[in-house]
Chains A and B, each alone.
Chain A
Amino acid sequence: MKKKFIWRISLIAAATILSILFFLPSTSLVSSLPDWLKKYGITLGLDLQGGVHLVYEVDIDKTVDVTVERIASSLTNTFKEKKIVAKAEKQGLDIIISPDNDQTKKTVQEQFPTLILESQSEGKAFFRIDSAEVSRIKNSAVDQALETIRNRVDQFGVAEPTIHRQANTEIVIALPGVKDTRRAIDLVGKTALLEFKLLDDDSPLAAQLPGTVLPGQEENILKQYASQIPEGDQILFGKIRNRETQAETKSVYLVKKQALLTGDFLTEARVSIDQRYNEPYVSLSFDATGAKLFEQITANNIKKRLAIVLDDNVHSAPVIQDKIEGGNAQITGSFGMDEAKDLAIVLRSGSLPAPLKMLQNVTIGPSLGKDSIDAGIMAGIIGALLVIVFMIIYYKLSGVIADFALVLNIVFLVGALSAFKATLTMPGIAGIILAIGMAVDSNVLMFERMRDELRLGKTPRAAIDSGYDKAFWTIFDSHVTTLITAVVLYEFGTGPVKGFAVTLGVGVLINLFTALIGTKTVFDLITSKREVKKLSI
């Protein structure tokens, strides 16, 4: 007789021990645990431990645009090298080749087989990148952006970042536990396109432009001089901070649009300290190709000014005094230590292939998370106590049994969440608390059935069995339907809501176990030892 439920008791005991074991890594005992166990435990969601959740969209159209521009300028160079008198121009997504003849067309198709001849008119040939190639460019832009962001976050040092692609062009970044959130956002989202551009000081406009303007005036300057900007030039600005007063102004520069050198050739970017002003700056090293280019540029443009431009902001524009060999350069500018460090990180990990557009930014400070956990635990304890006391008053000894199942339920739920390394969010805590209220439902269904059977005059033993049997399918059906909602919530939910779905779903499954095995075992134990005359229910 007793043998019948020995395995059930061992199952419950084993599940309890395992639950506690898996939960241990989430407590302060974590450091004294063996390594195999350390990887388990509940992870706190962003909303509970603080951090940043970002969603960006990669501006892939821009990537295509830039590619078209690059092809056009490369073709122009080829024509020059081959001494062909021809022009390649970008117009929208088209590349216009003039004149349109066999020689030019052959050159284009040899160098860029992915270009398709779209139409010909007035002695011009219109080429366009073929659509398969366009989608490849777009796709690889997102991949590359993802990779670059991973690099940056790694170097910034975040414990457990999640960075993944969503839909086609979106990148989701979760950085839990990050304290300096603003800095992290700047670091991730910066395009970090480093360009070296010559100033066009020979243009008459250069003399007319004001040297510096107040911050906020940039738009006005651009509007005012828009019509006078020579072809192939652009106006850029640079931030200047006065060392004594800390006041900020913006320098105005007229530069040639074409970048002579970009950050693509960088091998290293480090923070160094300027001895004179004790200010940090970033020193750059180019690879062999970059170094050679830099040498040429400096040799050909002595006494001219070369602007170091990062994402269309001029950091400095020193006068080239002499040919520079060895491929080293510096970015100076008024920045603090953190800013310089982050700049070095973004330069090292390379520029993003396209600008990012921020779609979503959720930042949670660490104190709010702690408040939420405290409040959640408080609500949980009080909610559980209310239910436990109610059950004892209403169902007497049977209520105690239900409460035993309830406690098992909570222990298993926490254990299961730890074993799955689930992420606990605030709605997740709410899910656990609600599960406490719903957990007794199965027992209530059984008890009410048992009461019905007792009223019919059945013995306690018979009432337990038939009450249990009759309630079984009701309990099963009601659990399956809740499970359906949990699965749907998980599928459609994001972040915190997913966390809620997990606790709800796991809670339902565990509840099925504790109600059907846990409670029944206790009843069987009681009634097997002696003949029970009266059931305390």
Chain B
Amino acid sequence: MIEIIRNTKIDFMGKRFIALGFSALLTILGIVAAVQVARGTANLGIDFAGGTSVQIKFNTRLALHDVRKALEDGGIKEFDLQELPTENKVLISIKKSEANIGDLSGKIITVLSQKFSQSNVVVDSTTEIGPKVGGKLRKDSLNAILVATLGILIYVAFRFQFRFGVGATIATFHDVLAMLGIFYILGKEINLLLVTALLTIAGYSLTDTVVVFDRIRENMKTKFKKSTFDIVNESINEVLSRTIVTSLTVFLTAAALFVFGGEVIHDFAFAIMLGIIIGTYSSIFVASPIVIMLGKDKVLKKK
């Protein structure tokens, strides 16, 4: 048998206060990010903020400042210019939501096609989103996250005990907030794809938590003389190799997506990779300590 680890006896729960401190930090960061998103001051994607984005492909590499100048000369204002250098592509985005979607993308395309007629301008994609849609998408995303976590709480509480449901739900919120916070700090764009990644990770992290909880429940039945504290610790150690193997395989596929999956999915794959790490961490260091804290038995008595 090849084993990554064997018969570990790591005192995970003994380190729960350090972990909780760290988690609290991540959560606060996430709350700050969420507030910024709500206020519209975070780096929101066009889909949430409203506005216009145009992705253009040239057949030669163009200097970014030439493109910038061409756009400025063409009367385009307040735009962000981003280069996707591997493929001679530029992304122009204007995060300004106007009540009536104008013909901004058409103007951008006309300006660039005239200026760089030799570079065979091909329009990859254009997105124009009015403020009404952006607001609705933001609201829908928030609802989705809330409904998903509520559904999870109900299911886990139904299958296990209530305190497990609470642990799983808080862990899920923790993961979502931590990822949001990290994306915010890194200045990455917060868009619909990130929300999709957040919900995927919510699902993934929950699977991880359920596996740990399942072992805890099983051990509670067989080792009823031990304290919850010890049972939780033992259970985590018992499922540790599964946790590592599964995280690794999912991480491998997410990494393949990150490297080979193309520009559209790049940040999504990054969010998934990040989420796998956070989700695995939270099952052990967030969900499980909460189960101990909410228990009525010899809970907080350290062995």
Binding site for B on A (CB under 8 A): 47, 55, 57, 182, 357-365, 367-368, 371-372, 374-376, 378-380, 382-384, 386-387, 390-391, 393-394, 396, 426-427, 429-431, 433-434, 436-438, 440-441, 444-445, 448, 451-452, 470, 473-474, 477-482, 484-489, 491-494, 496-497, 500, 504, 537
B249 contacts chain A at the CB level, 8 A cutoff:
yes
Asked if A378 and B260 sit within 8 Å, CB to CB, the answer is yes
Find out whether the CB atom of A438 lies under 8 angstroms from the CB atom of B156.
no
- Residues of chain B having any CB pair with chain A under 8 Å: 1-2, 55, 57, 87, 100-101, 105-106, 122-130, 132-133, 137, 140-141, 143-144, 147-148, 151-152, 155-156, 159, 192-193, 195-196, 199-200, 202-204, 206-207, 210-211, 214-215, 218, 238-239, 241-242, 245-246, 248-257, 259-262, 264-265, 268-269, 272
Chain A nearest CB from B132 CB (Å) reads 6
Inter-chain contacts of B202 with A (CB < 8 A): 485
A431 contact set on B, CB distance < 8 A: 200
**In the assembly, what is the distance between CA of A426 and CA of B105, in Å?**
23
Q: A358-B130, A394-B2 given as contacts; is B144 within 8 A of A440 (CB)? A: no
CB distance from A370 to the nearest CB of B (A): 11
**Chain B minimum-CB-distance residue to A395:** B2
A310 to B192, CA, bound (A): 39
Nearest-neighbour CB distance to chain A for B164, whole angstroms, equals 11
- A405 smallest CB distance to B (angstroms): 13
Q: Are A437 and B250 CB-contacts (below 8 A) given A357-B100, A371-B262, A379-B260? A: yes
Closest CB-CB distance, B55 to chain A, in whole Å?
7
A474 contacts across to B, CB distance below 8 A: 210-211, 214-215
> Which B residue sits closest to A500, measured CB to CB?
B196
Q: B262, A434: Cβ atoms under 8 Å? A: no
* Known pairs A375-B260, A474-B211; A364 contacts B124 (CB<8 A): yes
| List of 6 A-B pairs having minimum Cβ-Cβ separation, nearest first | A375-B262, A383-B256, A437-B253, A485-B203, A437-B250, A492-B144
Subset of 18 A-B contacts with CB under 8 Å: A57-B132, A357-B100, A360-B101, A360-B130, A363-B123, A363-B127, A379-B259, A386-B256, A387-B249, A429-B265, A440-B249, A448-B242, A484-B148, A484-B203, A485-B199, A491-B144, A497-B193, A504-B203
Residue contact B125 to A362, C-beta cutoff 8 Å: yes
State A349–B128 Cα separation when bound (angstroms): 27
Q: Which residues of B have CB within 8 Å of A493?
A: 144, 196
Cα distance A372–B144 when bound, in Å?
27
Contact of A386 among B133, B242, B253, B261 (CB under 8 A): B253
A367 touches B249 (CB 8 A): no
Q: Are A444 and B144 in contact (CB under 8 A)?
A: no
Given contacts A365-B125, A477-B210, contact A387 B252 (CB under 8 A): yes
Complex contact A444–B101 (CB within 8 A) = no
Note all chain B residues with C-beta closer than 8 A to A394. 2, 245
Contact in complex: B252, A481 (CB < 8 Å):
no
Contact A477 B133 (CB under 8 A): no
User: Cβ of B248: which chain A residues have Cβ within 8 Å of it?
Assistant: 390
Knowing A363-B126, A445-B211, A473-B214, the reply to whether A376 touches B265 (Cβ < 8 A) is yes
Residues of B close to A486: CB separation below 8 A: 203
Residue pair B200, A361 in contact (C-beta under 8 Å): no
* Inter-chain contact A484/B252, CB cutoff 8 Å: no
- For B212, give the chain A residue with the smallest CB separation: A474
List the A side residues contacting B123 at CB < 8 Å.
363, 365
Distance of A364 Cα from B124 Cα, bound (Å): 6
Query: How many Å from the CB of B187 to the closest CB on chain A?
Result: 23
Closest partner residue, chain A, to B160 (CB atom): A477
In the complex, what residue of chain B is closest to A55 when comparing beta carbons?
B133
Q: Closest approach, in angstroms, between the C-beta of B68 and any C-beta of chain A?
A: 22
Q: Nearest B residue to A449 by beta-carbon distance?
A: B242
Q: Tell me if A436 and B253 are in contact (CB < 8 A).
A: yes
Please tell me if the beta carbons of A437 and B254 are within 8 angstroms of each other in the complex: yes
Cβ A430 vs Cβ B207 within 8 A: no
Q: Which of B128, B132, B245, B268 contacts A427 (CB 8 A)?
A: B268
B151 CB to nearest A CB, Å: 4
The chain B residue sitting closest to A445, CB to CB, is: B242
Contact B192 A497 (CB under 8 A): yes
Given A375-B260, A426-B265: A494 and B137 interface contact (C-beta under 8 Å): yes
- Check B204–A482 contact: CB distance below 8 A: yes
- B260: A residues at CB distance < 8 A: 375, 378-379, 382
B210-A430 in contact (CB<8A): no
* A372-B264, A375-B260, A441-B246 known; A482 vs B206 contact (CB < 8 Å): yes
Contact of B256 among A379, A480, A491 (CB under 8 A): A379
Flag if A444 contacts B141 (CB, 8 Å).
Answer: no
Besides A361-B129, A372-B264, 17 other CB < 8 A contacts? A360-B130, A361-B101, A361-B105, A362-B127, A363-B126, A379-B259, A386-B252, A391-B249, A393-B2, A427-B196, A433-B261, A437-B250, A438-B207, A470-B218, A474-B211, A478-B206, A492-B140
Inter-chain CA distance A383–B254, complex, in Å, is 8
* A residues in contact with B148, CB < 8 Å: 484-485, 488-489
Provide the residues of chain A in CB contact with B242, threshold 8 Å.
Answer: 444-445, 448
| Cβ contacts under 8 Å, A55 to chain B | 133
A391 vs B143: C-alpha distance in the bound complex, in angstroms? 38
- CB atoms of A359 and B101 under 8 A apart: yes
For the complex, give the distance between the alpha carbons of A431 and B272 in Å: 11
Provide the bound-state CA to CA distance between A359 and B259, in Å: 34
Residue of A nearest to B168 (CB): A481
Contact partners of A390 in chain B: CB under 8 A: 248-249, 252
The verdict on A376 contacting B261 (CB below 8 Å), with A365-B123, A485-B199 known, is: yes
Contact B268 A379 (CB under 8 A): no
Closest B residue, CB atoms, query A57: B132
Q: Is the CB of A440 within 8 A of B125?
A: no
B213: nearest chain-A partner, CB-CB? A477
Tell me the bound Cα distance from A364 to B127 in angstroms: 8
Cβ-defined contact, A434 with B253, below 8 A? yes
CB-CB < 8 A to A441: which residues of B?
A: 207, 246, 249-250
Q: Contacts A478-B207, A481-B155: A379 and B128 contacting too (C-beta < 8 A)?
A: no
* A497-B152 in contact (CB<8A): no
Quick one: which of A362, A383, A429 has the most chain B CB within 10 A? A383
Of A382, A396, A479, A488, the most chain B CB neighbours within 10 A belong to A488
Contacts of A430 in B (CB 8 A): 257, 261, 265, 268-269
A182 touching B106 in the complex, CB below 8 Å, given contacts A367-B122, A386-B253: yes
Q: How far is the CB of B283 from chain A (nearest CB, A)?
A: 11
Expressed in whole angstroms, the Cα–Cα distance for A482 and B210 within the complex equals 11
Give chain B residues whose Cβ lies under 8 Å from the Cβ of A444: 242, 245-246, 249
Known: A365-B124, A482-B204, A488-B144. A358 touches B254 (CB 8 A): no
Residue from the list A357, A364, A393 in contact with B125, Cβ < 8 A: A364
B204: chain A residues at CB < 8 Å are 438, 482
Q: Nearest chain A CB to B199's CB is how many angstroms away?
A: 5
By a CB distance below 8 angstroms, the chain B residues around A367 are 57, 122, 124
With contact pairs A383-B256, A386-B256, A488-B147 given, residues A427 and B239 touching in the complex (Cβ less than 8 Å): no
Whole-angstrom distance from the CB of A347 to the nearest CB of chain B? Answer: 23
A481 and B253 within 8 A (CB): no
Q: Is the CB of A497 within 8 A of B125?
A: no
Q: How far is the CA of A473 from the CA of B210 in the complex (A)?
A: 10
B151 and A488 contacting across the interface, CB-CB below 8 Å: yes
Let me know if A368 and B200 touch, CB within 8 A.
no
A462 CA to B110 CA in the complex, in Å?
Answer: 72
Alpha-carbon separation in the docked complex, A378 to B196 (Å): 22
